[in-house]
Amino acid sequence: MLHMRRNAADPQFDEKSRAEFASLAQNAGDALRKVRDIVHDLSPDEQTTAVSTGVTDENIERNNIIQLLREDIEHSESMLRDLGFTGSISVRGDLRTLPTPALEFARTVLTELVANIIRHGEPAHYLVQIYIDSSLRIESRNRVRTASQLPHSGHGVAALRRAVAQHHGTVTAQLDGDTWHTVVTVPLPFFPTNIYTGRKG
């Protein structure tokens, strides 16, 4: 995977090849993320903790997902750094106040925003911020290679918009000079809605 990341940032390859390498690196990273999830799910330590401390299953699950989100952030920063990007992913607010579905949602959005930076971004400064207050808001800013490669469409963007719609949220994206700015906002409390029936839950 590291080899693919390096090729994606190597100027000796044309832009199309670099984008393909970046996509392959992202897919490999997503696979590793799923493996980490499985390992956490199978870990016997969580059951031991529940018995010894009396912590509820819900709190254990929330703490596990918070840990996975932090690992996602570290992995994403490392991957972007290997590709020649400089920047950071930060959290403003208390993750412990979010319900488990909102934390899972934040992981999904983070994965898609980082994937867009890799696929369409020029290796330069980027910024991803997760805000938690009266809403859950996740923003990303990064320089794009060319205007023709903006992430207007595609399976990833379409899936993101569907996911946000299920939670009564919005996705806004705009080009400011050569910087692509995406904002995903969902209200709190977090009540998923079936986009086909319009029913909550």
Q: What is the DSSP string of 46-81?
A: HHHHHHHH---HHHHHHHHHHHHHHHHHHHHHHHHH
pLDDT at residue 57 in the model:
75
pLDDT at 167: 87
Which pLDDT score, from 0 to 100, does residue 197 have?
Answer: 42
d(CA 128, CA 69): 13
With respect to residue 201, please indicate whether it lies within any of the assigned structural domains. no
So what's the pLDDT on residue 4?
A: 56
Dihedral, CA atoms, 158, 164, 169, 175, nearest 10 degrees? -40
Give domain status of residue 52, yes or no: yes
Asked if the structure places residue 195 within a domain, the reply is no
Q: Which residue has the tokens 């199309």?
A: 16
CATH number, domain containing residue 12: 3.30.565.10
| Total domains present in the chain | 1
Compute the distance between CA of residue 187 and CA of residue 131 in angstroms, rounded to an integer: 12
- pTM here? 0.70
CB-based burial of residue 56 (10 Å sphere; 0-12 exposed, 13-18 middle, 19+ buried)? Answer: exposed
pLDDT of residue 198: 45
Question: Does residue 71 belong to any structural domain of this protein?
Answer: yes
Residue 108 burial (CB count, 10 A) = 17
Residue 199 lies in a domain: no
Judge whether 117 lies within some domain.
yes
What is the per-residue pLDDT across 50-97, written as a single tens digit (0 to 9) for each?
Answer: 445 555 677 889 999 999 999 999 999 999 999 899 999 999 999 999
What is the β-pairing status of strands 135-144 and 86-92? unpaired
Q: Which pLDDT value is given to residue 145?
A: 77
Does 194 map to a domain?
no
Q: Which ranges of the chain have pLDDT less than 50?
A: 46-51, 153, 194-198
179 is in which domain, residue-wise? 2-187
HSE-up (13 A, CA, CB side) for residue 193: 15
The answer to whether residue 192 sits within a structural domain is: no
